[in-house]
Amino acid sequence: MTLQPTASHFIDGQYVEDTAGDPIDVIYPATGEVIARVHAATPAIIDRALEAATRAQAEWAALSGTERGRVLRRAADIIRARNHDLSVLETHDTGKPYQETIAVDATSGADALEYFGGMAATLTGQHIPLGEDWAYTVREPLGVCVGIGAWNYPTQIICWKTAPALACGNAMVFKPSETTPLCALKVAEILMEAGAPAGLCNVIQGRGEVGAALVTDDRVAKVSLTGSVPTGRKVYAAAAQSIKNVTMELGGKSPLIIFDDADIEDAVGGAILGNFYSSGQVCSNGTRVFVHTDIKDAFLTRLSARLSDVVMGDPLDEATNFGPMVSEAQRDIVERYIAKGQAEGARLICGGDRPEKPGFWINPTVFADVTDGMTIATDEIFGPVMCVLDFIDEADVIARANATEFGLSAGVFTRDISRAHRAIAQLQAGTCFINSYNDAPVEMPFGGSKLSGVGRENASAAIEHYSQLKSVYVRMGRVDAPY
Ligand code: NAD
């Protein structure tokens, strides 16, 4: 399988190159080898993508919802049929094991295309009776949408943004993370193959400057970013200059509360999924694991035992269930946090070091006796580092769980149904879990509160963020003016 794409960008239905742009090497995180090279978009490339999208959007919005939906559903079918190849590409782009990518990445992208494809024909306005008069609303597209992606889920992120955008009649210009530029190109190519007009979904490469140029362009009506809080602040502020619509899917430091009546095996399973899946590079991870002191020893014993089943082999081998960090830079960040955790007095239960192999690996790491003020308990680490904190009292743990600027996710494990709902009702987070962690079906809205973001992806909630209502008042009688 060739990993080098035909060209760096996909614009107006074809691959386009401009080697005048800064080169970006694509590095396979499992080995550190350069596997491909793309070039950042030059101003000419950015202009071409926006022109193509503007033209295609008008053509696309003129179709019926049924026709638009058919294209999205066809794209979903193609993605599913090519799941193996797309998963191998995703594994090379991110380093995530094939065991994960075959189950989650292209398939969740296909789910979004299928779901919003099915919904496209149902996106209508309302009839509002007003006595003799009446009003109606029309649900209109916004225009050209820009998507900017993080590096942890490159296929899923473009699909989660593009599927609702296209269903509503918008066009997309997507900029993947410079760390993982490969997968989004395939999605744009597949949409074309499925019958989308040329220019409807464009992918251009580049670092932050390219993203910034897109966000400030007057041809753009909406910006959807998946990234860190510092980038979110910049993008939100830049979009505000022309009052653009925004969706911000940002970082988190989410709490996972394990009460003393929880099923220990399930709670350990939830904590593993919420900390070590994708080697911890998941925004919604429950990285502050509050464990009731009565079950702390049992929890740590089972956690350590189950972590001995981690397999850190070749990510393409289906037996491998744990991959490397996406980049050397990300590994360095995570290692600095691990050192800080030790310096600040957290107790290392396991991991904390690297395996002896090329690439950007870190062993899954668990700290116990973590206290609320420690740096590892306050900062988003975005790596395989679980912090276990003690608690006794329900009200106290909820206050501590909420004592963060973030508000992306929260989870509780308990067999007491009343306590589960009471706790969730008080937790300040957009996406919550009871006796589970990190499920993200397309049918359920996903997003954060507080610094973790604005807007929601997935479910019918996403439609509100990719369309606008036009209200039309219709007078049936004479106009009664005062003069
Ligand atoms: P990042 O913020 O460094 O970069 C995200 C994207 O923004 C990249 O494509 C980057 O090139 C672009 N960018 C950077 N500066 C920009 C600017 N000034 N204008 C426009 N675009 C700019 O994030 P990352 O390191 O790629 O990803 C990790 C972060 O993303 C973590 O904080 C994680 O929590 C968050 N994340 C959130 C979600 C979510 O859905 N809430 C999902 C995945 C990742």
- Per-residue pLDDT averaged across 386-404, rounded? 98
Note the pLDDT tens digit of each residue in 226-272: 999 999 999 999 999 999 999 999 999 999 999 999 999 999 999 99
Q: Return the number of other C-beta atoms located less than 10 Å from residue 44's C-beta.
A: 12
C-beta of residue 153 within 8 angstroms of C-beta of residue 179: no
List of E strands, 395-479: 406-407, 409-413, 431-434, 449-450, 453-454, 467-474
- Give the closest residue (by CA) to ligand 1 atom 14: 208
3-state secondary structure of 361: coil
Q: What is the pLDDT of residue 419?
A: 98
Note the pLDDT tens digit of each residue in 270-297: 999 999 999 999 999 999 999 999 999 9
Question: pLDDT above 70 covers what percent of the chain?
Answer: 100
- Would the pLDDT of 161 be above 90? yes
- Per-residue pLDDT averaged across 63-81, rounded? 98
- Give me the phi and psi of 91, to 5 degrees please: -65, -40
- Asked about 283 being catalytic, the answer comes back as yes
- Would the pLDDT of 1 be above 90? no
Q: Which residue in the block uniquely carries the two structure tokens 């002191």?
A: 293
Q: Name the amino acid, one letter, at 482.
A: P
Dist CA 311 CA 317 (whole Å): 10
Note the pLDDT tens digit of each residue in 403-417: 999 999 999 999 999
Pocket test for ligand 1, best of 96, 108, 148, 282 (most atoms within 8 A of CB): 148
Q: Which residue in the block uniquely carries the two structure tokens 């991870």?
A: 285
DSSP 142-159: -SEEEEE--SS-HHHHHH
CA of 128 to the centre of ligand 1 (A): 41
- Per-residue pLDDT averaged across 340-356, rounded? 97
3-state secondary structure of 325: coil
Note the pLDDT tens digit of each residue in 173-199: 999 999 999 999 999 999 999 999 999
Sign of the Cα torsion 207, 8, 113, 100 reads: negative
Locate all alpha helices (DSSP H) within 82-207, ordered by sequence.
83-94, 98-119, 154-167, 183-193
Tokens representing residue 117 in the block:
């494809």
Dist CA 42 CA 20 (whole Å): 7
Dist CA 382 CA 177 (whole Å): 15
Tokens representing residue 81 in the block:
């049929």
Stated as kind and residue range, the H or E segment containing 224 is: strand 220-226
Q: Which of 41, 32, 30, 34 is nearest to 8 (CA)?
A: 41
- In angstroms and rounded to an integer, the radius of gyration of the C-alpha atoms of the chain is 23
211 pocket-lining for ligand 1 (C-beta < 6 Å)? yes
Q: Which of 395, 301, 383 is nearest to 349 (CA)?
A: 301
C-beta of residue 298 within 8 angstroms of C-beta of residue 66: no
C-beta of residue 204 within 8 angstroms of C-beta of residue 45: yes
Whether the model clears a pTM of 0.85, i.e. scores above it, the answer is yes
CA of 252 to the centre of ligand 1 (A): 12
